[in-house]
Amino acid sequence: MGEAVANLRSSAVRSSILFAALSVAFGSLAYLEVHQASDLLAFESSFQAAGGYVSIVSAQGGVSAGRCEGLNGMPGVVAAGAERAEGQATFSSAPGVLYQQYGITVGMPRVWATASSITRLPPTPGFFAGTALASELAVRAGLMLARVGESPVPLLAILDVSARAPQADRSLLEIIPPTGNADECWVEFTPKAFPGGSGAVAAAFAGGNGTPSVRAYISPDQFSRNPTSELKSRPQRNGWAIVALLVAGIFALVAWLRRAELGLYLALGTSRVTLATMLAMESWALVAAGWLAGMLWALAIQRATGNALTLGSIRLATVTSGSAALAVLVLAPILSVLVARGSIANLLKDR
């Protein structure tokens, strides 16, 4: 270890050039990864929030509300719930104004509503209002809401369903038991399960009223982005192998230029095992420092340019550039030793 550190210090110019090259190589890979991954992860988050992984099941005569609720807990299913339009109603606070009413099963709020409004859901079933209805009637959770000709009912919560179910945002929503038929069943999948989810859902409703029809909430077309596919097909995902080979090749070139120096070590009695250990220590120190510096400048540029920086993108950049660094830790000493495998006389004649 001491000899390796002494070599790095005595050849400061060579060490500095290698450090700079490693920092550029690993940092460029990390920057490409964090830049593209941040964009894709941000898009995927907005795509998922908009209902990009939601499918809707319908059939002539309706779909079974019980089968719909039964989808909850299945692998790949985030949430499932059924809805049924239940006519219109007027309220004492706004006579003459018609509002839609929906009956929804207990799983539907997790499909329709934003996460922030779901966290405020009370544990008991009851009546809920969309944000547009609550705004028009100037009501909030906990107040009584009276439909014309009926007794007042407590409004348990306000659900923000404007993103995924704008048609229900100006509606009164009532939790109903999962019995009988509903108009539609909404199912949200994980991104990985979504492509094959339609077939599984259709099979779950087979034998019911008519042939079930399954459609995506956001219909894909030739202009749609598929963030999951883009993440899998990004070129730098496997680019770490190319970077590792290039960097290992640089170490092999440096070892070739040091043939006489390595031969002198052997002539002075240094064993090839000790020589290999020394070369490994030198390369490991440079690779570790170069990778750390590369990661830091890549993240700094991403932040300085005003682009998003997420934990997911940092993790991907760390894994990808780290894989290249680990490969170099293995390849560089091996290639360096192979360069010095000749006889001592052949190595020394290059002095």
Q: Is residue 224 part of a domain?
A: no
CB 92 within 8 A of CB 150: no
145 and 250 share one domain: no
Q: Clarify whether residues 207 and 78 are in a common domain.
A: yes
Give the 3-state secondary structure of the chain: CHHHHHHHHHCHHHHHHHHHHHHHHHHHHHHHHHHHHHHHHHHHHHHHHCCCCEEEEECCCCEEHHHHHHCCCCCCEEEEEEEEEEEEEEECCEEEEEEEEEEECCCHHHHHCCHHHHCCCCCCCCEEEEHHHHHHHCCCCCCEECECCCCCEEEEEEECCCCCCHHHCCEEEEECCCCCEECEEEEEECCCCHHHHHHHHHHHCCCCCCCCEEEECCCCCCCCCCHHHHHHHCHHHCHHHHHHHHHHHHHHHHHHHCHHHHHHHHHCCCCHHHHHHHHHHHHHHHHHHHHHHHHHHHHHHHHHCCCCCCHHHHHHHHHHHHHHHHHHHHHHHHHHHHHCCCCHHHHHCCC
Global pTM reads 0.66
**211 and 76 within one domain:** yes
Q: Is residue 338 located within the same domain as residue 274?
A: yes
Identify whether 342 is part of a domain.
Answer: yes
In a domain, 24, yes or no: yes
For residue 202, what are its two tokens?
């259709």
Residue 124, pLDDT score? 64
Spans of the chain, pLDDT less than 50: 222-223
Pair 95, 207 in one domain = yes
- Backbone phi, then psi, for 216, in 5-degree steps? -75, 140
Cα distance between the two ends of the chain: 25
pLDDT at 342: 64
* Helix 239-257 vs helix 12-49: crossing angle, to nearest 10: 180
Residue 49 lies in a domain: no
What is the rounded distance in angstroms from the CA atom of residue 220 to the CA atom of residue 108? 23
Q: How many domains does the chain have?
A: 2
Give the end of a domain, one of 182, 197, 217.
217
Boundary of a domain, candidates 196, 217, 238: 217
Range of the domain at 341: 2-44+229-348
Torsion angle of C-alpha atoms 141, 146, 150, 156, degrees rounded to 10? 0
Tell which of 154, 188, 217 closes a domain. Answer: 217
Same domain, 202 and 74: yes
- 237 and 210 both lie in a single domain: no
- Residue 223, in any domain of the structure: no
pLDDT at site 82:
94
Q: Are residues 154 and 178 in the same domain?
A: yes
Is residue 308 in a domain?
yes
Per-residue confidence (pLDDT) for residue 123, from 0 to 100: 61
